[in-house]
Amino acid sequence: MIEGSCHCGAVRIAVTAPPTELTECNCSLCRRLGGYLAYYQTDQVTVSGPTVIYIQGDRTLETHFCGTCGCHSHWRGLGEHAERSAINARLLDPAAIEGLRIRHFDGADTFTYLD
């Protein structure tokens, strides 16, 4: 089990396995958030603590933030995407993500990886 938390510690995340790679997305939301995403099946992610949820235009995922310090913690898929989740791996101990490959995803235009 790998664990992390937001800045104030109110929201805690646990995943069943360490990430194997990270994704940096350039969509209109992710480029503003600046996180590294680590993808999981929803049942592999446990979140505790109060979050504020933002659901953007296409309503395919809900993005969660700590209601106290504002850190982006994770997103969960909605509808046909409900089995997918991603955590903001920047909330993990830096040693847990050190040296991992960072893939660049073009979420702004082509919806493909750029590497």
Report the C-alpha dihedral over residues 35, 40, 43, 46, rounded to 10 degrees: -30
Q: How far is it, in rounded angstroms, from Cα 85 to Cα 40?
A: 5
Q: Is the dihedral of CA 36, 19, 15, 41 positive or negative?
A: positive
Once rounded to an integer, what is the mean pLDDT over residues 38-63? 96
Once rounded to an integer, what is the mean pLDDT over residues 43-51? 97
Longest Cα–Cα distance in the chain: 36
pTM for the structure as a whole: 0.94
Q: Counting beta carbons within 10 angstroms of the beta carbon of residue 103, is it exposed (0 to 12), middle (13 to 18) or buried (19 or more)?
A: middle
Once rounded to an integer, what is the mean pLDDT over residues 18-42? 97
Bridge partners (DSSP) listed for residue 112: none
Q: Does the pLDDT at position 4 exceed 90? A: yes
pLDDT (tens digit per residue) in 35-44 = 999 999 999 9
Cβ proximity of 64 and 47 under 8 Å: yes
The confidence score (pLDDT) of residue 37 equals 98
Element (H, E) at 30: helix 30-33
Tell me the percentage of the chain whose pLDDT exceeds 90: 97
Q: How far is CA 4 from the centre of its chain?
A: 12
Cβ proximity of 45 and 85 under 8 Å: yes
**In terms of CATH architecture, what is 2-105?**
Beta Complex (2.170)
Domain ranges of the chain: 2-105
